[in-house]
Structure 1
Amino acid sequence: MKTKISNLPVDLLEEILSRVPVKSIGAVRSTCKNWNVLSKDQRFANKHIEKAAASQRDKEILVITVNTKDDLISLSQAVSVHHVFYCNGLLLCLWRGIKRGFVVCNPYWGKRRWIICPTERWYEMFAFGYDKSCRIHKILRLSKDDNIVIHIDIYDLSSDSWKTPDVAFHSNVIDYTEASLSLKGNTYWLAYDKESGDGFLHCFDFTRERFGLRLPLPFGFTYGCNVSLSSVREEKLAVLLKQFAIIDVWVTDKIEPDAVSWSKLFKVQLNCRFLFGSFLINEEKKTFVVFDNCCRSYIIDGESGDTYIREVEKIEAPYVRLDNLVGCYVPSSVQIFS
């Protein structure tokens, strides 16, 4: 007697479906009602993601977000996503349309929440992280008004509200790069001292809702240098320094809001020129992809010691810098409650 897959024992069916690639989970859910219910069970989700992480091990999952049309939101015009932040399986997309705000989503569940920003000011920077004591995600906004007064606002996803914490912040002497990077719940920026021009790493701790100390980088640099941050499987920070035709990459041995140590990963001599942007890295294979701000990406492989650069297919991102839209994404079963 033949057994249909729909008649398989639940444990066996769960084991089979848990081996389906994460990118195909949508097809699984649309196959039948029973598979849809099973795939949305929290225990199954945890098992599925663990298997996906094990199979990916040293691979990075690249997520590229371009324009989001109004079929995703009840507005009369298109919404343009122009910056994406990644944290613990969630994506935070900053959008502009009739209004201005965020959408927080978990691609694994297909869930999203729309958030409206506080009063818009002429200068704004954002960061995404979570409180490690309770795993509640938060959004940080740094902004200035016409009087160059610094404002700090924090959005709490659990309470769906903004607040202004009592934080000592001396941004009159600190200038941050535009992009922030989330790692282990905290957010890190490359920053500069406005008086000396010296660069350093700066952290915002979302658990304490405080800024950490100025952390040293493995090299000296000043404003205007080609420096970029990335992450290694949400476990380490990586920093890339480009000087003329040479690229140096370091990764962290230890990283906390008030402490950091670095190891040199590799040094690459380039044989072509390209505009500098964000990057993704495979630490073991010593391979990385650089995305410039003109919608181009380059693969640089230093595993054998012989480096080659190959321009890959151009990716269109109208009106937006491509290096603001790419990053390392690892699936998560974190739920978003709207």
Structure 2
Amino acid sequence: MMIFNLPRDLLEEILARVPVKSIRAVRSTCKNWNVISKDERFANKHIGKAAAREKQYLIIGDSMDYLSSVKLYETHNKKFGLSINGKAISIARDHSDQTLYISEVFLSNGLLLYVCRNTTSISRLLLWNPYWGKIRWIECPVYRSFEILAFGCDKSCGSHKILRLSKDNPDNHMMDIYDLSSDSWRTVDVAFDKNVGSSEPGLSLKGNTFWCASDNESKDYFLHCFDFTRERFGPRLPLPPSSYSRYCVFLSSVKEEKLAVLFSPWSTFGFDIWVTNKIEDPYVVSWSRFFKVETEKTIQDIDRGFRSGYFFIDEEKKITVVFDIYGVTDRSYICSVESGHFRKVNLRPLSGAFQLVGCYVPSSVQI
């Protein structure tokens, strides 16, 4: 019996073992395979097997409009290296009558949200499900002088939502929410802390969005969270203690289960990484240290201009990979928690400053 004539249940079981990156080849093989691969029941089975078998980390740069996947592998001498999937999926820059550029990227439950702007700073949003290869354009409300966007999910119904905080003058703060299920924006009357400042995009975890924020008056850092189910902000949450007097703060996630924070000092080379317990409630958080690298050498002694920032963690392998946020590919590091060693890794052919580094689990959500 040829593989094309196998019973459907057996064929589904075989195709469900195909790596996610090869699903497009499956769909183009024959009409029957294409129909099976687009069935939601099969998609959930395929995604479940892929998530259990392979971990993917996404890297998106601002100088190239495509998504690359990175995987950790163990070498013969018990060290770890990185392999890069060079067959990235292109996203054309020109999707309208005006040429757009990508200013921010968000990842939530397997969906990617691109914030696209043109020379007049008018935003359009591109929603993309890499698993299905489908995109959806979303028009933004009128542009204002100050905007913060966030991407999350309503856990009560499973619908993805977009938050936009904006103002056209210091006293007029607006909060708009886009609901994917209704394809519409609405203005919500919810109080939020006007004294909060954040320069980095928020991180989506378990449907909520977290920011490393600071108080505009005291300059103290804290964790801020928006709950997309309740559609309101939670209280200011404490960050773990840092031994650095002046530092940058960056967020990452661990397997869509935990939140991680990295402190990077201004004057010396090093970084300090902490991980939370499982976050089930956006109003409670506790921390434990995962890894620390600290030397007395200055940044100029190590790498002129290096500033550690975006990072991901593999808890099972006890590895963290830290990327240079200025996009110099030979200034990224792979660190072993067990040995305490760190070394440079070459991420070519990647180039340009990074917009997003994150753990990716495919989604069967239709957009």
Same fold (TM over 0.5): yes
Partner of 1:218: 240
Given that 1:280 and 1:328 are in contact with CA atoms closer than 8 Å, whether structure 2 keeps it comes out as yes
SS of the residue 1:24 aligns to? helix
Count, aligned residues: 327
| 2:113 maps to 1:92 | yes
Structure 2, unpaired ranges of 5+:
67-89
Give deviations 1:274-306, integer Å, cap 9, x for gaps: 223211111232322222232235132223424
Cα deviation for residue 97 of structure 1 reads 3.5
More strand per residue: 2
| Per-residue deviation, 1:177 | 3.0
* SS class of match (1:265): strand
Could you say which residue in structure 2 is the equivalent of 1:25? 23
CA distance in structure 1 between the aligned counterparts of 2:199 and 2:333, rounded to whole angstroms: 24
1:182 aligns with 2:204: yes
Equivalent pair of 2:131/2:363 in contact (CA under 8 Å): yes
| 1:255-266 → structure 2 map (5 Å cutoff) | 255=279, 256-266=281-291
| CA deviation after TM superposition for structure 1 residue 220, in Å | 5.1
| Contact 1:230-1:278 at 8 Å conserved across structures | yes
The code of the aligned residue for 1:227 comes to V
CA gap of 1:147–1:212, structure 2 versus 1, over 3 A, is: closer
Partner of 2:8: 10
In 1, Cα distance between equivalents of 2:313 and 2:155: 26
Of 121, 127, 136 in structure 1, the residue corresponding to residue 150 of structure 2 is 127
The whole-number CA distance in structure 1 between the counterparts of 2:244 and 2:228 is 27
CA deviation after TM superposition for structure 1 residue 81, in Å: 1.8
The 1:304–1:170 alpha-carbon spacing in structure 2 relative to 1, beyond 3 Å, is closer
What one-letter code is carried by the residue in structure 1 that aligns with 2:180? L
Q: For residue 144 of structure 1, what is the aligned residue in structure 2?
A: 167
Residue pair 2:93, 2:101 contacting (<8 A) in 1 also:
no
Cα distance change of structure 1 residues 217 and 247 upon mapping to structure 2, 3 Å threshold? same
Give secondary structure in 2 for the equivalent of 1:284. Answer: coil
CA distance in 1, matches of 2:95, 2:47: 32
Choose the corresponding residue for 1:316, options 342, 347, 351.
Answer: 351
Q: In the alignment, what sits opposite 1:330?
A: 361
1:289 is matched with: 321
Instruction: Label 1:214 to 1:222 Cα distance change in 2 as closer, same or farther (>3 A).
Output: farther
Pairing partner for 2:218 from 196, 202, 220: 196
Deviates more, 1:300-309 or 1:42-51: 300-309
Which whole-Å CA distance do the structure 2 matches of 1:138 and 1:222 have between them? Answer: 36
Contact 2:58–2:356 at 8 Å: present in 1 too? no
CA distance in 1: counterparts of 2:245 and 2:185, whole angstroms: 33
Q: For the structure 1 residues 262 and 70, does the alpha-carbon distance in structure 2 shift closer, same or farther, using more than 3 Å as the test? A: closer
1:54 alignment counterpart:
52
Q: Is the contact made by 1:70 and 1:76 (CA closer than 8 Å) also made in structure 2?
A: no
Kindly provide the CA deviation profile for residues 121-160 of structure 1, in whole angstroms up to 9, marking residues without a partner as x.
Answer: 1211110001110011100011121445221111111111
> Contact 2:334–2:345 at 8 Å: present in 1 too?
no
> Normalization by structure 1: what TM-score?
0.90
Shift of 1:53: 0.7
**What is the TM-score when the length of structure 2 is the normalising length?**
0.83
For 2:286, what is the secondary structure of its paired residue?
Answer: strand
CA 1:299 to 1:283, structure 2 compared with 1: closer, same or farther past 3 Å?
A: same
* Percent of paired sites with the same residue: 56
